[in-house]
Amino acid sequence: MNHEKEAEHIIDLYREGAEVWDNYRIKHFIEQHWLARFLDLIPAGGEILDVGCGAGIPIAQYFLQQQFKVTGVDASEPMIARCRERFPQAQWHVADMRTLALAKAFNGIIAWDSFFHLTRDHQRAMFPRFAQHAQIGAALMFTSGHGDGEAMGTFLDRPLYHASLDYDEFSQLLSDNGFSVVNQITEDATCGGRTVWLAQKNETA
């Protein structure tokens, strides 16, 4: 069954459910060890682009506490409003990642539990955007599904769309856009079963 119609409702769900999601996310921070690996690839005080930043806690908050500079983008206006209130020292943009064009390159890009809400075609189209926003040597980290396909969760008692490409296609897209895989774990039991990709922009890209 094709669920791409539900994909178009993702932004509306996170607009309506900003408070619900924020209250949940504040209490759940199990990805710190992956964030530390990501930061190991970034110069001290470097600039990070958080794609699908939500309300800024816990991930952007963690980066700011480690003295990195953060630019966050999210299509949910209520999420970004919370970010601006909490962390005025960072840069926050209401933007759809599918049309992301900040005219700036960063030392690190993260799309944690956000990128996988896009359809597979939109995921494919994101890799040139990642490359466009990545300095040479920049880290790129994102979460995906464990294999090619679509999956439906629930949020606010409504369908919540997820999709993924397979391992080989993600690997090829990274390579085609100038990234080398540094670390990849499928269904990491230490991180709630997430499939995590950590890559780095090649010197020759």
Residue 107 has pLDDT above 70, yes or no: yes
Given this model, what pLDDT does residue 125 score?
Answer: 98
Other CB atoms within a 10 A radius of the CB of residue 115 amount to 21
Q: What is the mean pLDDT of the chain?
A: 94
**Helix or strand holding residue 200 (H, E):** strand 194-201
Query: Residue 159's pLDDT is what?
Result: 84
Bridge partner list, 151? 162
Domain of 129 in residue numbering reads as 4-201
If one counts the domains in the chain, the total is 1
Q: What is the mean pLDDT of residues 120-129?
A: 97
Q: What pLDDT is stored for residue 1 in this prediction? A: 54
Comparing 205 with 93, which gets the higher pLDDT? 93
> Residue 154 pLDDT > 90, yes or no?
no
pTM of the model: 0.94
CATH code, 135:
3.40.50.150
